[in-house]
Amino acid sequence: MEGIKRFVTGHFELMLVAVLVAATAALVLVVADKIAFLGFFFIPTLVAAYFLGRRAGLLTGFLSVLMVALYAAIYPPLFDPGATGSVVTDIGLWACFLLLTAMVVGTLYEAKELVLRDLRDAYEGILEILAKYIDAVDSYTQDHSVRVSELGASLAGEIGLSQREVENIRVAGLLHDVGKIDVSLEVLTKASRLTPEEWEQMKRHTTQGASLLSPVGGLLRQVVPIVMFHHERWDGTGYHGLAGDDIPVGARVLAVADAYDSMVTDRPYRAGRTPLEACVEIERYVGTQFDPSVVKAFVHLSEKGLMEFRPTKQFAEGLRRA
């Protein structure tokens, strides 16, 4: 069910265009004034051009023209039994205006996207600077947020999330520890085991992070739940008690990325583990701490050579059975 939801969410605009084209083509067959009704084909064409760009708009327009031409070729009286010459002219003009509209709207869309891309690049640069500032609080975790961001985005792409979800996870990775700004430096850098009171202070960094990001809104609105719940566990024993699919998928992805990088990083109280040791530890908690589907994606990335660690066949098979 969740896989279907992800597919629909990730391809919503494309599916909407397909439904609109099919519905309009079907209705042409039943309405009385078919020439007038051809104007409704502008709806899917405009939707495609506005949401997907010039190429998609033109393809939708050509498909619409092809359908109408096919109707007219198979049964010429369908549009106007008494004025075949006029019908050809009307359909020709309609086709020209339809394709011209698709080109204009698609071009405007792509111009807008170019401006947004420039703004997004500047926004991402600011986020990376902020992430480095957050990590600089603890000298042992410098660039931790950047690494978690990159691994989280790779995992999100591997499990088939939409580009928007991948971007949200990448941004959440950069900001997932922003709440540690309110945690005392003594607790963050303590070399011995934390006391219960210190541990409660450390656990509050997820809530603090969400509180800091919530007023920003806009692009960060969908990042807040990921930051809030990235320490949840699959079995429900995490910071806030969410379990299984109730945990936002972005938070489940980030949990694996964060755990892996934390384990391979040197800390004041221990040396970092090897990539193999960290991956074996992640495998140990599949289905209890970590979402099995995310861990399988983690292994697939390793098998493709996109990470430091490449699992043995036995290790990978064990994860697939989880």
| pTM exceeds 0.75 | no
Residue 255 inside a domain? The answer is: yes
Q: What is the mean pLDDT of residues 225-246?
A: 93
* Whether residue 211 sits in one domain with residue 63: no
The 10s digit of each residue's pLDDT in 247-262 is 999 999 999 999 998 8
CATH number at residue 263: 1.10.3210.10
Number of domains in the chain: 2
Whole domain around residue 40: which residue ranges? 2-111
Residue 58 inside a domain? The answer is: yes
Mean pLDDT of the chain: 78
* Whether residue 167 sits in one domain with residue 273: yes
* Whether residue 162 sits in one domain with residue 18: no
The 10s digit of each residue's pLDDT in 18-72 is 777 777 777 666 666 666 667 788 888 888 888 888 888 888 888 888 888 887 7
Residue 129 inside a domain? The answer is: no
Q: Residue 267's beta-bridge partner residues?
A: 270
pLDDT of 225 reads 94
List Cβ neighbours of 206 (8 Å cut-off, separation of 6 or more).
179, 227, 228, 229, 230, 231, 239, 240
Residue 204 inside a domain? The answer is: yes
Residue 65 inside a domain? The answer is: yes
Q: pLDDT grade, residue 245 (50/70/90)?
A: very high
* Whether residue 288 sits in one domain with residue 145: yes
pLDDT of 312 reads 43
* Whether residue 95 sits in one domain with residue 181: no
DSSP 157-178: HHTT--HHHHHHHHHHHHHTTG
Q: Using the Cα atoms of residue 249, residue 254, residue 257 and residue 262 in order, give the sign of their dihedral.
A: negative
